[in-house]
Structure 1
Amino acid sequence: MAGRKRALPKLVAAGQDEAAAPRRQNRVNLVELAYERIEDLIVNCELKPGRFLAIQDLQEMTGFSRTPVHQAVTRLANDTLILVRPRHGVQIAPIDLARERMLLQLRRDLERFVIRLAAEKSSPTYRNQLLHVARVLRERRDGMTAGEFNVLDRRIDRLILTAAAEPFLEHTMRPLHTIFRRIGWIHHTHIKGDANVHTTIDCHLAILDAVANRHVAQAMTASDALIDFVDSMFDTMEREVDPSLLDCSLEPLIPNPRKDT
């Protein structure tokens, strides 16, 4: 209409966008660091399956402020590793062996796809990194704990996903890897006679060697062997693991006797 002036766009001072970018990047980094820290606590069962807690508890445990912890919890809830309980805070997802064994079949198919892509597409740089991790595993195999292995296992998963060069896969595979990393930790630390991680390491070495040498068929066979080994854990866990290790909110079957007063 006549007489109405069109609003002019605001001028942005030179360098303003550049100054804002590091702050945005820092926020992203803090969220990722908070996510990784909480993920570690879940995998190693320092945050026991079934445990209820508040966001403030997670802040104190991780040392991060409310915003990155809250965003990390949102991601972990999307990953089904944390359950949001309105008016009760959050709960670390209990372990449902039947559900996780079913998800293992999904992981089998996806893992074969990722391993095949990595073996076909990995660059010399990534192949060199895979061989380096393999050397570390071989050198430390006899004395490695489940917790130490999990640190390297996360790195292996990231290297293979990056070598596969399909970003969509990371968002799908990461929570699956975390779920079974926790299963492996419980199996290796609470099943009598299975305290060492030798078989787990050997399965991963077969994958690393095949991918690094671009032997596609061997890599997929090694991937299936790893999933078969993980699947074998479930039968033992169903028989031998105390249910309270899978869900600490369960009441003990044998309560502590009360002392007479």
Structure 2
Amino acid sequence: MRATPESQSRLAYFELEKLIVTSKLAPGSVVTEKQLIALAGYGRTPVREAIQKLEWQGLMQVRPRAGLQITPLNPTQQAMVLEARRQLEPLATRLMAGNISPTYRKRLIDCAKTMTECSITGDSEGYLAADRHFDEIVEATCPNPFITQALATLQTHSRRFWFHSATRQLLELSVDLHVRVIRALLNGDAAQAEKTMAALVDGLIDYAGTTSVIGKERLQGG
């Protein structure tokens, strides 16, 4: 089935977001719309719509007559992102616990399996893809869209900081904490899902507090 303009825009956004999160579009670098069209693999209109969303999220800055600048990393913002996630994400997880269809149960199981495999192989990019998939499941199953809309931007920025700080220790920690959340969700235990998600974000906050240099011992994907 042919992709609709809306789906093309969404797919172009996902592709460009991934390139920014993993620094294939380096922080602070300047690119052209033509380059992004080639990288995304979609036409001008979907890519322009993706650029608008990335600019709104603070991942890209449009500089007249200069090009499009990938927003530089600001380490001081990492704590702000995690602070906001700490308030919203446990609530979202509690609300979704009783709202998971058989289809999304299977997706959660597959997500946990993929994350575990990435932990074993040290595949940080594979983990990020699974983490994005987990966030999409939260978005689809949490009955409060205002929470998930607020979380979407926070989660993207969080993945970006995560990738630039990632060590094998952080990868293993992130996978372990996510699997605990998924287990609680599969059990339909709303209170435990909320508790384990709070522990997940707290674990990231604690790790960020002990990591003073972004990119220190950073994992390479694969």
Q: TM-score, normalised by structure 1?
A: 0.76
User: By how many angstroms is 1:138 displaced?
Assistant: 3.5
Instruction: After superposition, give the CA deviation of every residue in 1:28-65 in whole Å (9 maximum; x if it has no partner).
Output: 11111110000110111101111111211211222222
Residue 226 of structure 1 corresponds to which residue in structure 2?
200
Residue 12 of structure 1 corresponds to which residue in structure 2?
none
Is 1:198 aligned to residue 172 of structure 2?
Answer: yes
Is 1:74 aligned to residue 74 of structure 2?
Answer: no
CA contact (8 A) 2:97 2:189 kept: yes
Matches of 1:61 and 1:128 in 2, distance apart?
A: 32
Higher radius of gyration, 1 or 2: 1
Matches of 1:233 and 1:47 in 2, distance apart?
A: 25
Matches of 1:85 and 1:140 in 2, distance apart?
A: 38
Residue 184 of structure 2 corresponds to which residue in structure 1?
210
| 1:89 aligns with one of 58, 67, 70 | 67
Matches of 1:140 and 1:107 in 2, distance apart?
A: 24
Kindly report the root-mean-square deviation, in angstroms, between the aligned alpha carbons of the 2 structures: 2.3
Residue 159 of structure 1 corresponds to which residue in structure 2?
137
CA shift in 2, pair 1:170/1:241, >3 Å: closer
Matches of 1:195 and 1:39 in 2, distance apart?
A: 25
Instruction: After superposition, give the CA deviation of every residue in 1:177-214 in whole Å (9 maximum; x if it has no partner).
Output: 111111111111xx5xx466111100100010001111
Matches of 2:127 and 2:215 in 1, distance apart?
A: 24
Residue 256 of structure 1 corresponds to which residue in structure 2?
none
CA contact (8 A) 1:145 1:196 kept: no
Farther-moved stretch of structure 1 (37-46 vs 81-90): 81-90
| 1:179 aligns with one of 154, 157, 170 | 157
Q: TM-score, normalised by structure 2?
A: 0.88
Residue 111 of structure 1 corresponds to which residue in structure 2?
89
CA shift in 2, pair 1:55/1:233, >3 Å: farther
Residue 27 of structure 2 corresponds to which residue in structure 1?
49
Aligned residues: 217
CA shift in 2, pair 1:135/1:94, >3 Å: same
| Matching residue's letter, 1:241 | I
User: By how many angstroms is 1:135 displaced?
Assistant: 3.2
Name structure 1 gaps, 5 residues minimum.
Answer: 1-21, 246-261
